[in-house]
Amino acid sequence: MPFIQIYLGDHLTEKNKTDISSAVHNSLVAVFKIPVDDYFHVIHTLPPGSIRYPASYMNVPHSHQQVYIRITARDGRTVAMKKELYQQIAAGIAASTPVPASDVFIVLVETAAENWSFGNGLAQMVP
């Protein structure tokens, strides 16, 4: 049930977008143990100049390949799981696209189960 928002430059191809989305999803399935069909992603393609970043932050270099990933998920995962997720996502994206792991910026936002509706106006995850 994570909801994924991916922000990236319009220089990346449709295949790159698919590969980035797949890397995020496959990592969530492997690490957070979400169901395979729990796939809700929105990709925001932005024109040049719309993505701003420092050349380096916290000793991590950044380039024009910068990709921002926001994961909104139910709370309850351990710090170790989150660290493993970040590693797998960055490695998966770097392995399948021109985006280096150093340009994969991830934010995880956790919410309670009652804050989700998957349609029909119902809160399916709460009794």
Residues that are catalytic: 2
For residue 119, give both structure tokens. 């349609």
Helix segments in the chain, DSSP class H: 14-27, 79-96
Region class of 3: left (phi > 0), else alpha (psi between -120 and 50), else beta: beta
- State the Rg of the chain over Cα: 15
CA distance 96 to 38: 22
Region class of 33: left (phi > 0), else alpha (psi between -120 and 50), else beta: left
